[in-house]
Amino acid sequence: MAETSTILAWTLQQEIPVPPDVLGLLVEGEQAVASFKTFRDSATFTTKRLIVRDAQGITGRKIEIYSLPYSAINMWSSENAGGLLDRDGEIELWTRAGHIKVRVTKGTDIRRLDSLIAWAVLQH
């Protein structure tokens, strides 16, 4: 199994409308379901996968796109923020590619994310 934990650590912020340029990444029959703002870009749940766009560099012109098919997710966990000192929640995904940590900032509905992942993984 490849080790991805040092590569894949995302932070999801508030839910946003699906970015128009993500629609060009979808395959026939695939639909965008929900998108979330990340530090510099977005993460979109579709009917088939999770697409994370990551703008890089000073100008943000270089874009890296991660595509995680739901069939690759073996297990997940979610942890809500604990209170005053623990302001961020966390979702962890165990996949065929390795372990992925997703931080969830205050104000983002972690149970919505948990529900989206459950819908995606258990349906597929």
pLDDT, tens digit, for every residue of 82-117?
A: 665 556 789 999 998 888 988 888 878 888 899 999
What per-residue confidence (pLDDT) applies to 1? 46
pLDDT, tens digit, for every residue of 30-79?
A: 999 999 998 878 999 999 999 998 877 777 678 889 999 999 999 999 98
Q: How far apart are CA 64 and CA 68, in angstroms?
A: 13
pTM: 0.83
- Domains of the chain, start order: 9-123 (2.30.29.50)
| pLDDT of residue 3 exceeding 70 | no
